[in-house]
Amino acid sequence: MQQLARGEQKVYKRKKINFSVGQLISYLVLFAWSLSTIYAMFWIVNNSFKVSRDVMNSSFKIAFDPVMVNYTNAFDRINIGKGYLNSLIMSGGTVLLVLLFGGLAAYVLSRFNFRGRKALFSILYASLLIPAFATVVPVYELLIKTQLVNTYFGLMFPQTAGNLTFAILVLAGYMSTIPKELEEAAFIDGCNRFTLFTKILLPISRPAFASAAIFVFLWSYNDLFSALIFVNKEAVRPIVLLLSEISSQYGTDFGLMATAVSLTVVPVLIVYLFISKYIEKGLTEGAVKG
């Protein structure tokens, strides 16, 4: 009897050891992959505080006496501040347009019963298959004709159209889960369809709107292809375009390149740390279904 008990204990013990060795290896692998992100970010920010010669010769050393010359260069010579402003205006504008029009369309598609509703959904799903490559030439022609090329609207309008599909599918998916009784009660209380939307649907769907907004902003902010074609003049060019030009124009100024990358990445990192919860939530609620 005693022996049996001891035997059992042994098995239990061995299992536990296996378990923790597995855990240990898991953590090693996971930390190694995290390091690829964390160290890369540290390396780039660290080097942004060095003159180019030091970036080239000793990129691993920590910049104990940081120099700001790259930062003054970034703002004075390549006018990165203006690039930021342009990006914020255009991507912010795109998000507003997408949420407003996408929200209204999603409301109709999820809460109204009418003929052709299914067909509209099919058209939406089909438009997910249209990449920017397949629209760029005619859109460019259209923007030239309407003199919108190299204006803020020249990027906002095409990007709005490109992101509406995703936003409508995410928002409609969320809105269709809201119980109908809520609307009926409000309707009896004298709300019309428009006040129903602003007073009931909009507040309840806030999480979906938040995650759609985040993704639309990111895609717009990071979209080099459209920016390269529709808004490439200095007065309107967004930050991604500036970044791509740095490598060809200042390809030897390593310090400046490190600074430009840092200046684009660090604000995103800070915002990200605050909203990462919403991003992942949004991804799991909407993006997959979309």
Partner 1 sequence: MMKGDRKYIVMFLLPAAAFMSVFLYYPFFKSLFLSFFRTKGFTTKTYVGLDNYVRMFSDNLLGAATLHTLELMFYVIVFQVGIALILAVLVDNITWGKGFFRTVFFFPVVISGTAIALLFVLFYNYQFGLLNTILQNLGFSKVNWLSESTALKAVAIPTVWHYVGFYFVLFLTAMTKIPSDFYEAAKLEGITGVKKTFLLTIPLIMSDIKVVITLAITGTLKVFEFIYVLTRGQNGTEVLGTYMYKKAMVDLNYGYGSTIAIYIVVFGVLLSLLANRLLKRDEITY
Give the footprint of partner 1 on residues 157-196 (CB under 8 A): 157-158, 160-162, 164-165, 168, 187, 193-194
Q: Is 90 in the site for partner 1 (CB under 8 A)?
A: no
The length of the chain in residues reads: 290
Q: Is 129 in the site for partner 1 (CB under 8 A)?
A: yes
Q: In angstroms, rounded to a whole number, what is the distance separating the alpha carbons of residues 34 and 91?
A: 29
Give the three-class secondary structure for 222: coil
Q: In angstroms, rounded to a whole number, what is the distance separating the alpha carbons of residues 173 and 177?
A: 7
Q: Is 272 in the site for partner 1 (CB under 8 A)?
A: yes
Say how many C-beta atoms besides its own lie within 10 A of residue 96's C-beta: 14
Tell which one of 6, 12, 138, 190 touches partner 1 (CB under 8 A): 138
In the complex, the smallest distance separating the C-beta of residue 112 from partner 1, rounded to whole angstroms, is: 6
Q: In angstroms, rounded to a whole number, what is the distance separating the alpha carbons of residues 60 and 37?
A: 16
* Residue entry with tokens 């717009």: 220
Q: Which two tokens stand for residue 54?
A: 């030091």
Interactions with partner 1, residue window 60-79 (CB under 8 A) = 60
Tell which one of 130, 182, 185, 235 touches partner 1 (CB under 8 A): 130
Tell which one of 137, 182, 185, 235 touches partner 1 (CB under 8 A): 137
In the complex, the smallest distance separating the C-beta of residue 247 from partner 1, rounded to whole angstroms, is: 5
Tell which one of 51, 69, 88, 105 touches partner 1 (CB under 8 A): 105
In the complex, the smallest distance separating the C-beta of residue 2 from partner 1, rounded to whole angstroms, is: 26
Q: In angstroms, rounded to a whole number, what is the distance separating the alpha carbons of residues 267 and 275?
A: 12
For residues 103 and 173, the answer to whether their CB atoms sit within 8 Å is no
Q: Is 122 in the site for partner 1 (CB under 8 A)?
A: no
Distance of CA 122 to the CA centre of its chain: 26
Tell which one of 7, 10, 18, 81 touches partner 1 (CB under 8 A): 18
Nearer to partner 1, 5 or 129 (CB): 129
Q: Is 265 in the site for partner 1 (CB under 8 A)?
A: yes
For residues 180 and 110, the answer to whether their CB atoms sit within 8 Å is no
In the complex, the smallest distance separating the C-beta of residue 3 from partner 1, rounded to whole angstroms, is: 23
In the complex, the smallest distance separating the C-beta of residue 1 from partner 1, rounded to whole angstroms, is: 24
End-to-end CA distance of the chain: 61
Q: Closest by alpha carbon to 77, among 259, 289, 287?
A: 259
Tell which one of 51, 75, 82, 127 touches partner 1 (CB under 8 A): 127
Nearer to partner 1, 1 or 165 (CB): 165
